[in-house]
Chains A and B, each alone.
Chain A
Amino acid sequence: GQQLNQSPQSMFIQEGEDVSMNCTSSSIFNTWLWYKQDPGEGPVLLIALYKAGELTSNGRLTAQFGITRKDSFLNISASIPSDVGIYFCAGQSDSNYQLIWGAGTKLIIKP
């Protein structure tokens, strides 16, 4: 079946650093979504990508839909404490409308 590999699994960052995470798929997707989840809450949609090569920003966040349609990355610039949380990617092909989810990247601020 379809699989999504999300890396890294976790990241220790210092405030002010730039962060990068990515997802790769064994299948082609037509949609890539990026979410952030705070502890005990539901994930919140950050960025949606619908076209290969598309680069979209949301404040300090930038995400890109890979040209091969099998990968996507998310960058966070100048990280701040509230960026801490778990980031999930999700991809969808049009064949059955099911979203396939990455395992998440946990962002932790170094003390």
Chain B
Amino acid sequence: KAGVTQTPRYLIKTRGQQVTLSCSPISGHRSVSWYQQTPGQGLQFLFEYFSETQRNKGNFPGRFSGRQFSNSRSEMNVSTLELGDSALYLCASRFESYEQYFGPGTRLTVT
């Protein structure tokens, strides 16, 4: 089975712009979670989608949003980018409530 894929792998944006990141889960997995990881920091949970519905949400401002499509693919959007949004954004998928499998991440740099 193919693993979790994320596109793009690297991205450079300017403050004030918006960005959309994409995640394709492992085939058969209906849950997709998104995390933000800044240098030297742990995994900060953004949100989880299950069967197109947001199941859980972390403590991030409304500039961070996501959605999931009927094929379980997910997108994450960040509007009005700030310098502090520079981070590795990780997507993870799982079959219902079991262990999560991570993608390689998207490295976002905001200048």
Name A residues whose Cβ lies closer than 8 Å to a Cβ of B.
Answer: 31, 33, 35, 40-45, 48, 88, 90, 92, 94, 96-99, 101-104
Chain A: minimal CB distance from B99 (Å): 5
Chain B: minimal CB distance from A9 (Å): 10
Q: Which residues of B contact A42 (CB under 8 A)?
A: 4, 90, 92, 102-105
Chain B: minimal CB distance from A14 (Å): 23
Do residues B97 and A97 form an inter-chain contact, with CB atoms below 8 A? yes
A21–B93 Cα distance when bound, in Å, is: 26
With A98-B48, A103-B42, A104-B42 known to touch, is A92 a contact of B101 (CB < 8 Å)?
no
With A88-B43, A94-B97, A97-B56 known to touch, is A40 a contact of B90 (CB < 8 Å)?
no
Q: Which residues of A contact B104 (CB under 8 A)?
A: 41-42
Name B residues whose Cβ lies closer than 8 Å to a Cβ of A.
Answer: 4, 31, 33, 42-43, 45, 48, 50, 55-56, 88, 90, 92, 97-105, 107
Partner among A45, A96, A102 whose Cβ is within 8 Å of the Cβ of B100: A45
Return 26 A-B CB contacts under 8 Å, by A number.
A31-B98, A31-B99, A33-B99, A40-B88, A40-B107, A42-B104, A43-B43, A43-B90, A44-B102, A45-B99, A45-B100, A45-B101, A48-B99, A88-B43, A90-B100, A92-B97, A96-B55, A96-B56, A97-B55, A97-B56, A98-B45, A98-B48, A99-B100, A101-B43, A102-B42, A104-B42
A44–B105 Cα distance when bound, in Å, is: 12
Partner among B31, B42, B99 whose Cβ is within 8 Å of the Cβ of A88: B42
Find the A residue at minimum CB distance from B91.
Answer: A42
Chain A: minimal CB distance from B14 (Å): 23
Find the B residue at minimum CB distance from A4.
Answer: B42
Closest 6 interchain pairs by CB? Answer: A42-B102, A98-B56, A103-B42, A97-B97, A48-B99, A101-B43
